[in-house]
Amino acid sequence: DGGITQSPKYLFRKEGQNVTLSCEQNLNHDAMYWYRQDPGQGLRLIYYSQIVNDFQKGDIAEGYSVSREKKESFPLTVTSAQKNPTAFYLCASKTGDNEKLFFGSGTQLSVL
């Protein structure tokens, strides 16, 4: 059953703590993306990666870090430098053939 799996579904962060959101895809897609969604704000791009071992900053990369060691995996770390991390985080992927983006089910991150 092909798709994009995000975990956990809900995550709580204490002040000063780094947390990592997981994103795994078995669609054999080359490119992967992380978006942040705040109520009424639409989707804002955090980081994206078009090939393994390479990634680019999006529009709101400060306070976040990523790695792309495997084609299937693109974890996002929300660092303590991100002062307002409460949001719904979405991972997405696509092939290189077209611009159709497919999304995971999201992770809701909240601050304790």
Partner 1 sequence: QKEVEQDPGPLSVPEGAIVSLNCTYSNSAFQYFMWYRQYSRKGPELLMYTYSSGNKEDGRFTAQVDKSSKYISLFIRDSQPSDSATYLCALGGGSTLGRLYFGRGTQLTVWP
Please report where in the chains the tokens 């991100």 appear, as a residue. Answer: 82
Tokens, residue 91: 């991972």
Instruction: Write the binding mask 65 to 104 for partner 1: x where contact by CB under 8 A, - elsewhere.
Output: -----------------------x-x-x-----xxxxxxx
* Residue partners of 29: CB distance under 8 A and separation at least 6: 93, 94, 95, 102
Interacting residue with partner 1 among 50, 65, 67, 79 (CB under 8 A): 50
| Nearest distance, CB of residue 67 and partner 1, angstroms | 19
The rounded Cα 91 to chain-centroid distance in angstroms is 4
Pair 30, 96: CB distance under 8 Å: yes
- Determine, following the binding rule CB under 8 A, whether residue 43 of this chain makes contact with partner 1: yes
Q: Which residues bind partner 1 (CB under 8 A)?
A: 4, 6, 31, 33, 35, 40-43, 45, 48, 50, 58, 88, 90, 92, 98-106, 108
